[in-house]
Amino acid sequence: MSNHDPVVDPTSRLSRRTLAMDASGIRRAFELGATLENPINLSIGQPDFPVPDAMKSAAIDAIQEDRNGYTVTQGIPALHESIRRHLAHDLGWSRDGDGYSTVVTSGTSGGLLLASLALLDEGDEAIMPDPWFVLYPQLGHLTGATMVACDTYPDFRMTAARVEPLISDRTKFVLVNSPGNPSGVVLTDDEMRDLAALCRDRGVQLVTDEIYDEFVFADSMRPDGTCPSPARFDHQALVIRGFGKTYGCTGWRLGYAAGPTWLVEQMRKLQQFTYVCAPSPLQWGVIEAFDIDNTAQVARYAERCQLVMEALSPHVDVVRPGGAFYAFFEVPPALGMTATEFMERAVERRVLLVPGGVFSGRDTHVRLSFAVDENVLREGLAILVDLLRGG
């Protein structure tokens, strides 16, 4: 740098939208984690199993065979065909695609951002759950809209009764996430039907983030083994899903959105000018993904969930997760600590958790991920139980 370079005040150069986004909570958790020698990491938001070999081979073949260029912006036709076949089986949507369209996105995050850009103007509102997935509030900063939080404590169910009072004439969409991050709570078919009816009656778009749809435990599944979804009751709903969690390939950055053509067409247009297309060889990698049976993995996660419940429920308020791989428990008020303080105490004992303030307007709960080996999980739970007993 030359001596003549002017001193730059970054805040005067950066956009208000960027400055409004606060990543300090997550950053602090990461930074504390990085100081640990041999952490018991119960903060991880991705599965701990390898990508199925068939998917690895398909992606490697695509790279070797020089299928590395751009694809059409909406994604390769063969993958659309797989998605349609899957949605016909899973949601009862028409396989020929009458009335709905699909777009392959750069992760579920890509789908959520494109949907928000397509639907929200400055001054608009969208309703999201509290607790939320970390991207949701940022969708407001990115679009200039207001994300209105729907308080779902203490059972973490985003029901129609809780959503209805929040709908105003500015509301453009209701965003539901089941199985939920950070709570693992799965809404029932009846709750989904009511939410769909509410949105239809009030003329607001329903957007459903179903990234954990393949991680549903037996007691929260529908009788046919599928995950409850509002899209079964509202064929105008926008379904946003991902491949990353289901198949252990979060770094492949692949997801898809399916919904009304008028909306998905605009998302495709926005993708054309932003992400351009989802990673192309990896699109080939997931064509056969829906045929892969992951029931053994889900059963293993259900057993880990049981370990968590048995260890924690005598000591804390914890809602039994019906899916995903998280439990969100309350720091006992008797301990007189915020969730961040509890997280810091846990770090002193080598256990990494994420404090609820990262996902919520409240800092009263912590998220524990059970996407870890059972022995690590047992060791971590024993330490947590000791802390919860005031140790």
The residues facing 209 across adjacent strands are 177, 240
149 neighbors 361 (Cβ within 8 angstroms): yes
Residues near ligand PMP, by CB under 6 A = 45, 107-109, 133, 177, 181, 209, 211, 242, 244, 250, 255
Distance, in Å, from the CA atom of 73 to the CA atom of 330, rounded to the nearest integer, reads 44
From the CB of 107, what's the least distance to ligand PMP, in Å? 3
* Residue whose CB is less far from ligand PMP, 138 or 250: 250
From the CB of 308, what's the least distance to ligand PMP, in Å? 18
From the CB of 12, what's the least distance to ligand PMP, in Å? 32
From the CB of 169, what's the least distance to ligand PMP, in Å? 28
From the CB of 254, what's the least distance to ligand PMP, in Å? 7
* Residue whose CB is less far from ligand PMP, 136 or 388: 136
* Residue whose CB is less far from ligand PMP, 227 or 388: 227
Residue with smallest beta-carbon separation from ligand PMP: 107
* Residue whose CB is less far from ligand PMP, 198 or 354: 354
Conformation bin of residue 187: beta by default, left when phi > 0, alpha when psi is -120 to 50: beta
Distance, in Å, from the CA atom of 162 to the CA atom of 154, rounded to the nearest integer, reads 12
Task: Enter the tokens of residue 199.
Answer: 């949105």
* Residue whose CB is less far from ligand PMP, 153 or 243: 243
- 363 Cβ contact list (under 8 Å, min separation 6): 338, 339, 340, 355, 356, 357
Distance, in Å, from the CA atom of 263 to the CA atom of 118, rounded to the nearest integer, reads 7
Max distance between CA atoms of the chain, in angstroms, equals: 71
From the CB of 213, what's the least distance to ligand PMP, in Å? 11
State the CB neighbour count (10 A cutoff) for residue 234.
22
324 neighbors 179 (Cβ within 8 angstroms): yes
Question: Judging by beta carbons within 10 Å of its beta carbon (0-12, 13-18, 19+), is residue 81 exposed, middle or buried?
Answer: middle
* Residue whose CB is less far from ligand PMP, 242 or 356: 242
3-class state of residue 280 by DSSP: helix
From the CB of 132, what's the least distance to ligand PMP, in Å? 8
* Residue whose CB is less far from ligand PMP, 198 or 211: 211
